[in-house]
Amino acid sequence: MAPKIAILFYSMYGHIEQLAKAEAGGIKSAGGTVDLYRVPETLPEEVLTKMHAPAKDSSIPTLDSPKTLEQYDGILFGIPTRYGNHVAQFRQFWDSTGGQWQTGGFWGKYAGLFVSTATQGGGQESTALATMSTFAHHGFIYVPLGYKTVFPDLGDNSEVRGGSAWGAGTFASGDGSRQPTEKELRVATAQGKMFYETVARVNFA
Ligand SMILES: Cc1cc2nc3c(=O)[nH]c(=O)nc-3n(C[C@H](O)[C@H](O)[C@H](O)COP(=O)(O)O)c2cc1C
């Protein structure tokens, strides 16, 4: 039986969404299937307009309930940074998972992450580290990206690049104008592939 994989992400300006689609491509390239979900929005339309957030592509469903995730064996989380930590919409989601925390609804599931910040040094690694605490409380088994499958890209400093051993990443720039590069998308694709293969190997071999 093939493992069931989901990607849960929040994306206000589309950067994490592009990485999420690349991760999904990697999962599919490994022979897997994946369901994408958005974290529910918490801001009113009026505020989103003031923040210049474009309309969200409705072909990707918004997660109706944390319970929906209980059917999956592995979940990749796409998290944009706010002040070096999770975007509030994601924290709001985590705060709604008390039921799974109490009953172990996510216990023993595999989890990975990818991130986006405006700038280098803006908190890619601190956002990843902050996620470890939440993963630990739920009993998620964290699958790091590591270097093995992406050494040429992570080991090369010839161009600005987001992402690290913790997971794929991109830089949006202060005004959001920078888009994920070919290399960042390649790392995200490799992470999706590696994540699927890891979950398949440990759980379903
Ligand atoms: C209120 C606020 C706080 C932010 N804090 C940070 C930060 O601490 N470091 C950083 O590099 N970028 C910061 N950003 C930029 C976001 O991380 C960036 O908009 C996001 O990664 C883009 O991803 P998205 O297009 O998927 O929403 C902040 C943005 C907002 C609106």
pLDDT in tens, 28-57: 999 999 999 999 999 999 999 999 999 999
pLDDT digits (tens, 9 = 90+) for 85-129: 999 999 999 999 999 999 999 999 999 999 999 999 999 999 999
**Across 175-199, average pLDDT:** 98
pLDDT digits (tens, 9 = 90+) for 192-201: 999 999 999 9
Q: Is the pLDDT of residue 67 over 80?
A: yes
Q: Whose CA is nearest to atom 30 of ligand 1?
A: 82
Q: How far apart are CA 3 and CA 196, in angstroms?
A: 8
**Across 154-163, average pLDDT:** 96
**Across 53-78, average pLDDT:** 97
| The pLDDT value given to residue 24 | 98
| The pLDDT value given to residue 152 | 97
Q: Is the pLDDT of residue 205 over 80?
A: no
Å from CA of 120 to ligand 1 middle: 11
% the chain with pLDDT above 70? 99
CB atoms within 10 A of CB 13: 18
Q: How far apart are CA 4 and CA 95, in angstroms?
A: 24
| The pLDDT value given to residue 196 | 97
Mapped onto helix, strand or coil, the DSSP state of residue 159 is: coil
Atom of ligand 1 nearest to the CA of 83: 8
Candidates 38, 83, 164: which one to mutate for ligand 1, based on the most atoms within 8 Å of Cβ? 83
| The pLDDT value given to residue 1 | 79
Q: Whose CA is nearest to atom 29 of ligand 1?
A: 82
pLDDT digits (tens, 9 = 90+) for 131-156: 999 999 999 999 999 999 999 999 99
Q: How far apart are CA 16 and CA 170, in angstroms?
A: 8
% the chain with pLDDT above 90? 97
For residue 14 the two structure tokens come to 């589309």
Å from CA of 193 to ligand 1 middle: 26
pLDDT digits (tens, 9 = 90+) for 13-28: 999 999 999 999 999 9
| The pLDDT value given to residue 202 | 84
DSSP string, 116-133: EESSTTSSHHHHHHHHHH
Q: How far apart are CA 144 and CA 164, in angstroms?
A: 9
For residue 186 the two structure tokens come to 């390649």
Beta bridge partners of 78: 9, 114
CB 27 within 8 Å of CB 11:
no
Q: Whose CA is nearest to atom 15 of ligand 1?
A: 118
**Across 66-84, average pLDDT:** 98
Å from CA of 176 to ligand 1 middle: 8
**CATH numbers and ranges of domains, the chain:** 5-204 (3.40.50.360)
Å from CA of 159 to ligand 1 middle: 21
Å from CA of 3 to ligand 1 middle: 32
Under DSSP, the state recorded for 94 is H
Instruction: Please choose, from the candidates 61, 138, 131, the residue with its C-alpha nearest in 3D space to the C-alpha of residue 100.
Output: 138
CB atoms within 10 A of CB 60: 16
CB 104 within 8 Å of CB 27:
no
